[in-house]
Chain A
Amino acid sequence: MDNPLGTSPDEVQFRFRDDEVVDHAAVTVDSCCDQTNATAVRIEPGDDARLLLPFLDRLALIEVNFPAFGDGRGYSSARILREAGFTGELRAVGDVGIDQLSHMRRCGLDAFAPDNPLNEEDAARAFATWENVYQATVDGRRTIPQIRHGAEQ
């Protein structure tokens, strides 16, 4: 493959979607804004996710790269894309560990392609860490305050 960017379907370890896995390389945010036919793009931590908003309809996959797990900008990027109505696949790639999974999921990431494959059992436990949650995000869960007051989401 001449384009080194983008993970392949067999690198995706966890996926919470029923549609077909996107099977082609991603481009950078800059290229995505310049060319009209890309359907998959990769966001780096320093990229402004909002630059992609005009193109969300044609994108099937947005990869959010976490080169180092301690750099949390990707959480904001993911949530911003979901807030803008993106319904395609949001794939976390890079330095993704067990202990980031539940928060990533809450920020709208729904596929995970970690650099180092994770223990399946540990991951299943991690995804289920929080029976309930305090904050309203883009995962559609009713929050603890909403449950307390019988409010609709």
Chain B
Amino acid sequence: MYKYDSYDQAMVDARVEEFRDQARRRLEGSLSEDEFKPLRLMNGLYLQLHAYMLRVAIPYGTLNSEQMSVLGDIADKYDRGYGHFTTRQNLQYNWIKLEDTADILADLAKVEMHAIQTSGNCIRNISSDHFAGASHDELVDPRPYAELMRQWSSFHPEFTYLPRKFKICVIASEKDRAAMRLHDIGVQIVKNDEGEIGARFYAGGGMGRTPMIAPMIRDFVPLDQLITYAEACLRVYNRYGRRDNKYKARIKILVHELGRDEYVRQVEEEFAHMLEQGVEPPLEEIARIKPFFADPAFEDGPKQVDRSDPDFALWVDRNTHRHKHDSYVSAVISLKPVGGIPGDATGDQIRLMAKLAKQYSFDELRIMHTQNVVLPHVKIGDLHALWTQLEAADLGSPNLDTIEDMIACPGLDYCALANARSIPLAQRISERFDASGKTEKLGELKLKISGCINACGHHHAGHIGILGVDKKGLENYQLSLGGSEAEDTSLAKITGPGFTEDGVIEAVDTVTDVYLDQRTGEERFLDTYRRIGMAPFKEALYG
């Protein structure tokens, strides 16, 4: 994986010092809270309901065991012993003291980590495919391109006070595991008819209160123009994105209001101009970055596991993903134990995952946007030993992509924006489906829960989505069906009137019954919904 050189390290160190200085000026009173707020936000520091929350960047979701281990140590030293993995492949600490933050940032900087641009109206941490560099179905490893964009977007002088936050995703597979088209800019690395590698750009996707699927804006950008084209996309947005209303300030609204074609026309005009400006890094830079992501030394070994232990066999079936080398798999560590908080891990668990990565996965881990952890390169012959240790630490839940593998935002338990709680709902649903044994029958079913309209829990993209709202002072939950964040991206539709907390759990049960009753062949819940439409579900819910 990527290693900082002295220049990268100096940038992060400079930022730590800058933040130390800002915190000093805040404490001395020369910075007002209003002035300090956007600065602390650009360093990932939020003020939540009960405490400060610090969000640490994990670029494109990749980290090594030393970094992971430090994340566990920080959880114990500065938080209440937990870290929370997020849908941006990042990690949040929910119980941080302002006076500790500069020291935490300094601890992070020692292992090439930081909290830069994990919030604020700037280009956020770049996300990617969690199986990048490991999966059997990718064209190339997308991470060198994501790293190139990480550097370009770090402390960008023109794009630090954008109309609103800006999220970029880079993938290189037809299979979309990163919700690419639900980003402000989605980049897919592709090969053109001449066999050259380049970038396909999508713009104007997003969730939030106005969900949109990003249209394609350019089929092919040559690699030696990648940054220049991104710069043109951002400049048009910075100049013309709405600033009169924060709820209409994302690029999706600009693309929607201008229309895709007009946005494209403006970007192309700016792009032609920018090409004259020489802003593209030398092509040698991508050549310099690539070897950091070279394959580790894979060895041939067993291609199959001993399936005599049914619990182990189930975990292998559910939680491993086909690797490009036939003696390896990518193993997913579920952070969704039954009744647990989705995405939470203790300091001890985090350090254990770090140790296991060192032992079994060439020192590398990935964070999934679905709030799980991946060991990308595990020998099939090592799976049983790995699973045994995971089981002992309550990290062996065999529930990847099942209804128990929910995304849930922190909700009203932590978040200052939330209208309703997400976590207790997630806990109760997983307990119920586990107890009834229905999880296994349902197969792949993506349930996503947001505690408010900002949609951090991706409810628009859930096969089943739940949105918590405030209804006359009471928590109320809207149910929606038919969303997808995969390559067949779609937005979920609301079933009808909302439910109480108990009611929405019943309602989830009801719609899964409709599916089990109506499915044919190998259909997933989503496929059945797409075939039969909303009516049968509505009938069962409200009829």
Contacts and interface: CB of A to CB of B under 8 A. Distances in A.
B487 interface: no
Nearest to B13: A131
B282 A151 contact: yes
A94 interface: no
B161 interface: yes
B151 interface: yes
Interface string B199-241: 0000000000000000000000000000000000001001100
A129 B39 CA distance: 15
B30 A72 contact: no
A146 B280 CA distance: 10
Interface stretch (B271-279, B314-322, B327-335): B271-279
Contact of A132 (B7, B273, B277, B281): B7
A145 interface: yes
Contact of A72 (B21, B25, B238): B238
Given A73-B238, A122-B25, A148-B7, A130 B160 contact: no
Interface in B241-283: 243, 273, 277-282
Interface stretch (A13-21, A28-36, A55-63, A99-107): A99-107
Contacts of A4: none
A140 B459 CA distance: 46
B22 interface: yes
A103 B282 contact: no
B211 to A, nearest CB: 25
Which of A45, A79, A136 has the most C-beta atoms of chain B within 10 angstroms of its own C-beta?
A: A136
B160 A143 contact: no
B114 to A, nearest CB: 14
Interface size class of B (residues with CB under 8 A): 35 or more
Interface in B132-159: 151-152, 154-159
B472 interface: no
A39 interface: no
B38 A70 contact: yes
Nearest to B280: A136
Nearest to B151: A134
Nearest to B15: A129
A135 B152 contact: yes
A147 interface: yes
A92 B277 CA distance: 23
Given A71-B243, A83-B273, A149-B288, A136 B14 contact: no
Interface string B282-309: 1011001000000000000000000000
Contacts of B277: 83, 136
Interface string B477-496: 00000000000000000000
B235 A76 contact: yes
Given A129-B18, A145-B281, A107 B35 contact: no
B510 interface: no
A76 B239 contact: yes
A147 B288 CA distance: 13
A149 B38 contact: no
Contact of B7 (A69, A99, A147): A147
Contacts of B285: 145, 148-149
B160 A72 contact: yes
Nearest to B236: A76
A146 B282 contact: yes
A133 interface: yes
B239 A73 contact: yes
B456 to A, nearest CB: 22
Given A70-B38, A122-B25, A76 B151 contact: no
Given A122-B21, A125-B21, A135 B243 contact: no
B424 to A, nearest CB: 36
18 contacts: A69-B35, A71-B161, A72-B161, A75-B157, A76-B158, A76-B235, A104-B157, A107-B158, A122-B21, A132-B11, A134-B151, A134-B155, A135-B156, A136-B278, A136-B279, A136-B280, A143-B281, A148-B284
Given A122-B21, A143-B281, A148-B5, 14 more contacts: A72-B159, A72-B238, A75-B238, A76-B235, A98-B25, A99-B22, A103-B158, A103-B160, A119-B30, A134-B152, A134-B156, A136-B279, A136-B281, A148-B285
Interface of B: 5, 7-8, 10-11, 14, 18, 21-22, 25, 30, 35, 38-39, 121, 151-152, 154-162, 235, 238-239, 243, 273, 277-282, 284-285, 288
- Top 8 A-B pairs, shortest CB-CB distance: A72-B161, A106-B157, A145-B281, A103-B157, A145-B285, A149-B284, A144-B7, A136-B279
Interface of A: 45, 69-73, 75-76, 79, 83, 97-100, 102-104, 106-107, 119, 122, 125, 129-137, 143-149, 151, 153
